[in-house]
Every structure is written in C-alpha cells, then in structure tokens.
Structure 1
Amino acid sequence: MFKKFFRYLILGLGLYALIATLVIVFYKDDPQAMIWQDREAYNKRYIEKLKIEDTATLNSVLEYLGSPDLTFAKRDEEQVWQIVFYRTQHKTSDGITTIDECTGLLFKNGQLILWGPSAYDQYLKPG
C-alpha cells in the first residue's frame, strides 16, 4: 500500500514539475491581460534592462510591451521622431495616465535612441 502511494506521489510531483517547467519556458507574458500594478512593474523591468548598445526598434518594443499608454510623433524634414510612454510609476488614483507617471522611449526613424526623463525634452526640441 505504501509503495503504491509513494509511486503515485512521485509520479504526480514529476508531472507537476514538467507542466510548471513548460509553462515557464513557453508561456509569453501578455501585458494587455495584466492588472495595472503588474503591467507597471513589467514595463519598468523591461525599460531598466535597456542598454545603449541595444538595437531596439519601435516594432520590437511594441511586440514586447504591447500598446503604449501615450504616443506622440512628428516629422522633421526626412526624420520621423516618435516617443512612446509606458506607465512605470503610479502617482494619482484618478483613472488617467499622465506623462509624469510614465517613462518615455524616443525613436528616430524607428530606432530607439533615448529613454527616461530626458527623452521627452529631446523630442520637444525644434529641428
């Protein structure tokens, strides 16, 4: 009796470990399905890991983080500038996401060139 119980216990734990491993390895996080606190932390972790050597594009960021909370774009002669904001810090519980609650990622012709507090200042500069 004990041998049978022990066998089923080991089999169950092994099956559980296999399923947990498969979920961790193959399940992609979906920022759109997260509650706001989790999405905020998810955005912050991703942005903190960015390095200047990274060749991140607008499409790769959108694929990973999903739709931005705020977006602005402009054309300056042949250059297309776009800044996308993802919420990374909660300030006021008013149901409205504002720039001061977000981190901006600045793209020039689809390539990430700057992120953080100075990104919006750089976007606002003329020419």
Structure 2
Amino acid sequence: MNSKVIRLILLGLAVYGLFVFMVISFYPDKPENMDWQDREEYNKVQITKLRLGSTREEVLALLGSPDITEAKIHGGNTVQVMFYRTQHVRADGLTTLDECTPLLFENDHLIAWGEGAYQSYLQS
C-alpha cells in the first residue's frame, strides 16, 4: 500500500513538472503583459537585436506597441519615430520622451535608433 502512494506522488510530480515545462516553453511572454520594470529591461535587450532595414512590422512583432509615436511626411517619404521605454527617470506614472529610446523609420523600414535619430527627425 505504501509503494502505491509513493508511485502516485511521483506520478503527480512528473505530470506537474511536465505541465510547468510546457507552459514555460510554449507560452510566449508578451511585452503588453509585463510591468513597467520588466518591459524596460525587455526593450533594452530586444533593441540590441535590431538591424537596420528591418520592417516596422518586424519591430512591432519583436517589441510590441510603442509607448509614444510621432510621424510626418517629408520629401514624399513617410517618416515615423516609435519610442520604447528603456530607462526610468521619474516616478510620476507617466512615460516621457527622456525615458525612451527612439526608433526612426522611413517608408516603414528602420533607418536609425537612439537620440541622434530623433534629433535628425526633428531637424528634417
């Protein structure tokens, strides 16, 4: 009788372990579901993986929705800046431009990121 109980306990632990493994492996962590601290760290890591020429859709798939966005048409080209929060500055409950890394897109392709990208957008 004692060995049956032990077998059931071991079987239960094995099923539980398999369930935890499946959830961790197959349930993607979406940026929209993260708290702001985890989202900042996630954005920092993902921005390092970007490559110039990536499409806007690829970036959205990787980083999720931007915290702030701006756009304009300049010289027949669509220019868009998407801001992703990457550093905490003030505990005011708001996400501001100085807490974000800007990503600059021209005609839906990533052409630059960082503060210099945003300054070039403002000057054009």
TM score, norm. by length of structure 1: 0.84
In the alignment, does 2:4 pair up with 1:8? Answer: no
1:34 partner letter: M
1:47-89 alpha-carbon deviations (Å, 9 max, x no partner) = 122244xx42212222332221111111112211101001011
What is the match of residue 69 of structure 1? 67
- 1:106 Cα shift? 0.8
Partners of 2:48 and 2:13 lie apart in 1 by: 36
- After TM superposition, what 4+ stretches of structure 1 lie above 3 angstroms from structure 2? none
The corresponding residue for 1:87 is 85
Deviates more, 1:102-111 or 1:28-37: 28-37
Partner of 2:36: 36
Q: What letter corresponds to residue 59 of structure 2 in structure 1?
A: V
For 1:2 and 1:121, locate their aligned partners in 2 and report how far apart those are by CA, in whole Å: 73
Aligned-residue identity in percent: 52
SS in 1 for 2:7: helix
Runs of 5+ unmatched residues, structure 1: none
Q: Which amino acid aligns with 1:20?
A: V
**Aligned match for 2:56, one of 55, 58, 66:** 58
Within 2, Cα distance between the matches of 1:87 and 1:98? 8
Give the aligned partner of residue 78 of structure 1: 76
The residue type equivalent to 1:8 in the other structure is: L
CA distance in 1, matches of 2:5, 2:49: 47
RMSD: 1.8
How many pairs are equivalent?
Answer: 124
How far 1:8 sits from its partner (Å)? Answer: 2.0
**CA deviation after TM superposition for structure 1 residue 2, in Å:** 3.9
Bigger shift: residues 34-43 or 86-95: 34-43
Match of 2:95 in 1: 97
- Higher mean C-alpha deviation, range 85-94 or range 71-80: 71-80
Alignment of 1:119 with 2:110, yes or no, is no
